[in-house]
Amino acid sequence: MPLRLSSSWFLGAAIIAWVFAPVVERWLLIEPPWTWVVGGSFAVLLGLSVLAHEMAHAVMAQRFGLDVRSMTIHLIGGVTAMEAETRRPWVDFTIAVVGPLTSLVVGGVAWLGYLAAPSGTVFSFVTFQLMAANLIVGVLNLVPALPLDGGRLLRDVVWAASGREYIGTLVAGWTGRAFALVVAFFALLPVLLGRPDVVWLAWGLLLAGFIWFEASRSLKVAGMSRIIARLTVGDLLRPVVFVPHDTPLASALALPRHSDAAVVVTDAHGAVAGIVRPESAAAVPVERQPWVPVSSVAASAGSGDRLTPQLGGVELIAALTSHPSPVHLVEDAAGTVYGVVVTADVEEALSAGRRRSAL
């Protein structure tokens, strides 16, 4: 699985080395540039701890058959990108929980290293800071607020209880926003008490802003998921008119039919051969339409372009995107075509749902 190190991580490492330099000087009684070396070493080890956290997510996802696109380590953490999200809450719960547990295990190992190290040494300093950092990361990630892992756990529990993923995302997303406000309050608290701390304020507001942004994005995703969940083939179905492949285009267009009906072309054996695209038909001059066969303006209808009446929600969107086509035939279990779904209609339904949500 590809590992990506964001350029922001180097900024974070430099800030950590700068912040810890005076702490190292007091703890180990050493002077620059060695304070910077020790602080930078801790930043690297902290980055490796974040990598272990993300690797736990990635390996567990692979165990459940999900493809992991990449792992990215950035300024304030990491993210594991997966090819496809699981549609089972307990699977997502398992993938989410192993990250914080790994951080807690790393913190525990660092604590054992600290107990075994001679006091006042570089090793004791680094293991103590690594223990504290991983315990904080592990506990913080268990907070039930998106985008933290605990938010995913909350989402999965609500998802399993309600049977609807978007409801779980809504709950965890709003919890994430509330938690972002709490983090911002504690970041500003020293300022309100008259004891400002620039580093505390900067990191606190950065973390609060990140949580708020990601929680808000999750809420948008939940809104779109709710719209998608309501989509069905039946709601989008257009009727069809069947014409033989050698029918003149003018005759096919003159057939009485519903205004939004699609013209389906059949071959010599009566099987579906294609679908007339309105834009292709309109491109033929009117004076030539009586001499042009309807098959010449029909797009082929492959088996991958066909839908079943029972499809809806995420499964419908997956079927449409796996075989991109302007028009998809709808057929029953016997293979009889009795309608079409036009991709433009799906896009319009999603846009209308977004507009209603915005209101």
Helix (H) or strand (E) holding 201: helix 198-229
Q: Maximum Cα–Cα distance for the chain, whole Å?
A: 96
The burial of 313, by beta-carbon neighbours within 10 Å (0-12 exposed, 13-18 middle, 19 or more buried), is given as middle
Sheet of 262-266, strand order: 240-244, 262-266, 272-276, 298-300
Residue 95: predicted pLDDT = 93
Rounded Cα–Cα distance for residues 337 and 46 (Å): 59
SS (H, E, C) 12-24: HHHHHHHHHHHHH
For 23, phi then psi, to 5°, come to -65, -45
Rounded Cα–Cα distance for residues 308 and 301 (Å): 15
Rounded Cα–Cα distance for residues 146 and 139 (Å): 14
Q: Is the peptide bond before 147 cis (omega within 30 degrees of 0)?
A: yes
Residue 203: predicted pLDDT = 80
Count of other CB atoms within 10 angstroms of residue 310: 12
Residue 182: predicted pLDDT = 95
CA distances in angstroms from 189 to 59, 139, 197, 200, 330, listed in the order given: 40, 21, 10, 10, 60
Q: Which pair of structure tokens corresponds to residue 254?
A: 């003159």
Question: What pLDDT tens digit does each residue of the chain (359 aa) get?
Answer: 788 888 888 888 888 888 878 888 887 888 888 888 888 888 889 889 999 999 999 999 999 988 888 888 887 788 888 876 566 899 999 999 999 999 999 999 999 999 998 888 888 888 998 999 999 999 999 999 999 999 999 999 999 999 888 899 999 999 999 999 999 999 999 888 888 877 788 888 888 998 999 999 888 888 887 888 888 888 888 888 888 988 998 888 887 666 677 888 888 887 787 788 777 888 889 888 889 898 888 877 655 567 888 888 878 887 888 777 777 888 877 777 878 888 878 888 888 776 665 54
CA distances in angstroms from 308 to 315, 318, 322, 326, 340, listed in the order given: 11, 13, 15, 17, 10
The burial of 287, by beta-carbon neighbours within 10 Å (0-12 exposed, 13-18 middle, 19 or more buried), is given as exposed
| Structural domains present in the chain | 3-229 (no CATH), 233-358 (3.10.580.10)
Rounded Cα–Cα distance for residues 220 and 358 (Å): 10
Residue 359: predicted pLDDT = 47
